Amino acid sequence: MSDLISSLENEGSTDESENVNNSTVDCRDKSVDLDKSQVQNETSEIKPTPSPRSKEAFQKRVKTFTSSLWCGKPLSLSPPLLAQYGWECIGEDIAKCCTCSVVIAVRLPWPNKDNYRSECEKAQENVIRGHLRICSWPSNYCSDVLLHPFDDVQYLSIQDKLDLKKKFFKRFENLMSLREKLPVMTAEVHKDMNLNEDVICQFLDESSSEDEELLKCISSVHDKVKISAALLALCGWDASFNLVSGNPGVECEETGRTIGLWNFHSISDEDNDFQPTPAKKQRHESLLVIKKQFFHPVNQHHVWSPWVTTLSSLSAANLIGLSSSVVNEDKPAGWKIVRDFLLPVADLSGANTTPLKSGERCSMKNTPYKTPPAAAVQRAMKMLDEWSSPHHEAQNVALI
């Protein structure tokens, strides 16, 4: 009898324990499901981190090398070449690897010193081999395509060409919002870029006939605004505003260089015969005359910008020729590639390059441009001075 009672008690306890275990498992399963749903929600909100060798990460590193932190360097130590090997600027003349966190200091002697060339070569080699041994940047650096994103049009895909044209008109429309605050494009700009007002106006008119938004954008402004915006967009400049002062400016999308337009002659100044505006000097509280300059869309770029210069990679194979130039002379500048792509049938022989007067429309009559004799002699003398100038010799020593 006692055995029977004990067996019944054991069965009852077993059933209760099974019920307890089952309920515990159910609770755990629900908590596990709850945790999984929370993790899925959190991971869905987290954006994937771009690869350090992507174009986005490359441009982000390039833009850390500002003029105040990285100046006085030859083209062989320009920001794109350091960013290609994973370096970003964290201080004056100081770079840090984004992967192995090694820090290097690139401080060079004066260009006229005897050891300037050897120090440049040491710094170049340190850019490549200055990482930790386990770091992959020396053997797996960024693609050379990032150094010259505007490769010859014949090598670009159809999608690349469409993106190139789309980005140009996007910059053009943004610049058009500045209206008369845009800088004046002088005859020298047209001559240097081998473009005239007639070709630009014809190109914009033909493009606007196929795009209603573009037609609406250019229909309410005169030609000087359109020509200035087109030349700026052709050289990679986009509209920019100072968030503190609200003053207009232009920015290079590739290098991050930003320039305020208040120091340059604008189209509105031209209408007022370039009368200088007085400004109050805070220290002495006196009026002074601001001496404005003319904006040149090519010369205002950094010397290492892909819009004006095509650099060669500092790969290990090129270490043999460190004393040679890092500029790839076989590839044209970015703005020339964009110009030839957008205006393939244009006559770039240099027609009417006289700046338009207020209210004047572009005429379709092409008149050959002739350089005045005095200007031709002046340009020739300038070229001779550059050949023999100490600054030019210093640049050659600087491996440029």
pLDDT tens string 116-166: 989 998 999 999 999 999 999 998 999 888 888 887 666 677 888 888 889
At 318, the pLDDT band (50, 70, 90 cuts) reads: low
The rounded percent of the chain whose pLDDT value lies above 90 is 36
Residues 6+ apart with CB under 8 A from 93: 69, 70, 105, 106, 107
Q: Residue 88: is its pLDDT beyond 80?
A: yes
- Residue 321 sits at the vertex; the CA angle it makes with 58 and 317, to the nearest 5 degrees, is 55
Min mean pLDDT across 32-36, 225-229, 291-295 is at 32-36
Cβ neighbours around 222 below 10 Å, total: 17
The rounded percent of the chain whose pLDDT value lies above 70 is 64
Each residue's pLDDT tens digit, 253-287 = 899 999 999 889 999 886 665 554 444 444 444 44
Q: What is the pLDDT of residue 160?
A: 81
Q: Residue 205: is its pLDDT beyond 90?
A: no
Domains of the chain in sequence order: 55-146 (1.10.1170.10), 153-298+333-369 (no CATH)
Tell me how far apart the terminal alpha carbons of the chain are, to the nearest angstrom.
Answer: 107
More confident residue, 320 or 110: 110
Q: What is the pLDDT of residue 1?
A: 46
Q: Which helix (H) or strand (E) holds 259?
A: strand 258-260
Q: Give the pLDDT mean for 37-63.
A: 73
At 4, the pLDDT band (50, 70, 90 cuts) reads: very low
Q: What is the pLDDT of residue 299?
A: 94
